[in-house]
Structure 1
Amino acid sequence: MLKDPPITVNVFDEARVNHEMTVELAFVNPVSEILRDCSLTPSGTGLLQWEELTKLPDLMPNNRVCVKLIIVPHKSGERTLLVGFDRASFKDIKTSCIVNVKP
């Protein structure tokens, strides 16, 4: 069981409906083994039309991988961007951030 999710989410641009914004997802391998066959899955109502599965490269212990995504919000208001990490040996590793989308 991991105490702190090893996932961070950074939003770099102002969020506006129908305008591109950059989001960076980062994951740090918290265990002493190479992680293989992993993925990050961002989702969010009003932010993404569908979940976007992003396969990650093999990750050495304590190494970090960053993925930049361009998303185009399609609804205004306070939205939650949820990011899940998937691998057979880890269950339910998720983090989220609030994105305030302007009209």
Structure 2
Amino acid sequence: MTIQTINIGQIANDGTGDDLRAAFDKVNDNFVDLNTRFPNAATGENLGPTGGGIFESATNSKLSFKKIIGGDNITLVESLTGITLSTPSSLNQLIIVNKN
């Protein structure tokens, strides 16, 4: 399906454009078309300039996020906008494992 343009007429209230019902029917059809073209268009992004993403996937209107788990000598502190990962100063390397 192609995007449908709403006919707004030449001037206001001249009777040459789409009536209200036809116009909003086109709007609904356009949203259906967009949802069909991009069914998984939801995205997640980081709030800051560094770090890995926590967004996992989207199924219909349900968003899933990765789980962050602390381990031995690793602490996680959560705030409204982030999660801080802390390690002792003796730990000089952090290995990141990707599930792919």
TM-score range, shorter chain: under 0.3
Say which structure, 1 or 2, has more relative contact order (CA 8 Å, 6+ apart).
Answer: 1
For normalisation by structure 2, the TM-score amounts to 0.24
For normalisation by structure 1, the TM-score amounts to 0.24
Greater strand proportion? 1
